[in-house]
Amino acid sequence: MEFDREQVIADPRQEIITLISDEMATIKRKMTEIKSQVDQQQLMVDREQQRNVDIVADLQNIHNNLDTVPRQDIREKYEEALAVRSRLGTMRGQLEKFQSSYDMLQKDQQLLSAILTKIQGVDMLDAGREETEMGGRSQMNIVRIVQAQEDERQRLARQMHDGPAQSLTNFIL
């Protein structure tokens, strides 16, 4: 089954508008998913941050009572602090990655929205151009009339300026 190219792409502008609209819908869906991931990751980072604060407080308490705390407890708390800091760093990195992805998608969506607006505006301009082509002769006549009026206006302006200037020059001489 062969398709004529003109049948497949009946209206290329409308096809572009449809493609852009579909892509914007996909981006919006992805943004919703990523926003959910950002919120979830932010909660995890906040919890891990609080856990880190608690461990730092425990380490400060151990430091103040270093003589009475068993060596094994010190080692365990120190290892726990290192693990929490490592996880916190990883989680923050993931959060930044999600936020960066969200920001990029948001910029893409804004760009596509601007393109869509321009294409739809061009669509309206092209419709106006078709009307102009239909009335091409009347349009050309209008342009000629306006040009003739502009020429006459300039001629009158020169006469008004040159006449009084000539009289003033003669008076001075």
pLDDT band for position 167 (50/70/90)? low
Statement: residue 99 has pLDDT above 60: yes
Report the domain count for the chain.
2
- Residue 157 confidence (pLDDT) above 60: yes
Query: Do 126 and 142 share a domain, yes or no?
Result: no
Asked if 85 and 163 sit in the same domain, the reply is no
pLDDT tens profile 105-151: 999 999 998 888 888 775 444 444 554 455 555 666 676 676 777 77
3-state secondary structure 100-111: HHHHHHHHHHHH
The pLDDT value recorded for residue 87 is 94
In the structure encoding, which two tokens stand for residue 71, read together? 């060596």
Same-domain check for residues 80 and 142: no
Residue 26: pLDDT band (50, 70, 90) is very high
pLDDT, residue 15, reads 87
Residue 146 belongs to a domain: yes
- Each residue's pLDDT tens digit, 56-97: 999 999 999 988 989 999 999 999 999 999 999 999 999 999
d(CA 53, CA 59): 10
Distance CA 135, CA 128 (A): 11
Residues 170 and 105 in one domain: no
The phi-psi region of residue 4 (left if phi > 0; otherwise alpha if psi is between -120 and 50; otherwise beta) is beta
Residue 43 shares a structural domain with residue 95:
yes
122: closest CA among 20, 17, 6, 24? 17
Report d(CA 167, CA 30) in Å as an integer.
Answer: 79
How far is the C-alpha of 83 from the C-alpha of 96, rounded, in Å? 20
Residues 98 and 27 in one domain: yes
Contact between 58 and 74 (Cβ < 8 Å): no
Selection from 38, 123, 124, 50 nearest residue 84 by Cα: 50
Query: Given this model, what pLDDT does residue 164 score?
Result: 61
Q: What DSSP element (H or E) covers 165?
A: helix 136-172
Q: Report phi then psi at 3, rounded to 5.
A: -115, 140
Q: Is residue 101 part of a domain?
A: yes
Whether residue 164 sits in one domain with residue 121: no
pTM: 0.58
pLDDT at 14: 84
Domain carrying residue 74: 8-134
What is the reported pLDDT for 23?
Answer: 92
- Residue 125: inside a domain, yes or no? yes
pLDDT of residue 12: 82
Residues 35 and 101: their CA atoms lie apart, in Å, by 10
| Residue 104 confidence (pLDDT) above 80 | yes
Is 2 within a domain? no
Q: Which of 99, 91, 123 is nearest to 20 (CA)?
A: 123
Q: What amino acid occupies position 62?
A: I
